[in-house]
């Protein structure tokens, strides 16, 4: 029931799950790199990771602080914005 509501407001299931996993492992004060998200099991592969991070960046919940360069992975951080208040408490 919640998934269609999230999608109606622009938050897909993949983004929701990725956000929850990232918020569980990282605080807004801690930088993390894209490779770390795979080693922690947040994402299974690079393509899924890149799509989810891009989607979350578009929603304003993560920010790329340094793009990948050569063999150095991109650096990211949570912005402190949460997806949780998107739904009324009576639904969430």
**d(C-alpha 1, C-alpha 37), whole Å:** 28
Domains held by the chain: number: 1
pLDDT at 27: 94
Residue 4 scores a pLDDT above 80: no
Residue 12 scores a pLDDT above 50: yes
Report the CATH number that the domain containing residue 49 is assigned in CATH. Answer: 1.10.10.10
**For the purposes of burial, counting CB atoms within 10 Å of the CB of 71, is it exposed (0-12), middle (13-18) or buried (19 or more)?**
exposed
Answer yes or no: is 90 within a domain: no
**d(C-alpha 19, C-alpha 14), whole Å:** 9
Crossing angle, helix 46-59 and helix 13-25, to 10 degrees? 90
pTM of the predicted model over 0.85: no
- Provide the residue range defining the domain that includes 75: 2-83
Answer yes or no: is 24 within a domain: yes
pLDDT at 14: 80
User: Per residue in 19-76, pLDDT tens?
Assistant: 999 999 999 999 999 999 999 999 999 999 999 999 999 999 999 999 999 999 999 9
Answer yes or no: is 92 within a domain: no
């Amino acid at each position: 029931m919640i998934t269609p509501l999230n999608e109606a407001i622009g938050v897909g299931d993949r983004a929701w799950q990725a956000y929850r996993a990232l918020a569980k492992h990282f605080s807004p004060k801690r930088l993390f790199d894209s490779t770390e998200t795979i080693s922690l099991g947040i994402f299974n592969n690079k393509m899924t990771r890149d799509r989810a991070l891009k989607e979350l960046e578009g929603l304003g919940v993560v920010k790329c602080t340094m793009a990948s360069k050569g063999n150095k992975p991109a650096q990211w951080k949570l912005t402190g914005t949460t997806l949780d208040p998107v739904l009324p408490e009576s639904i969430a």
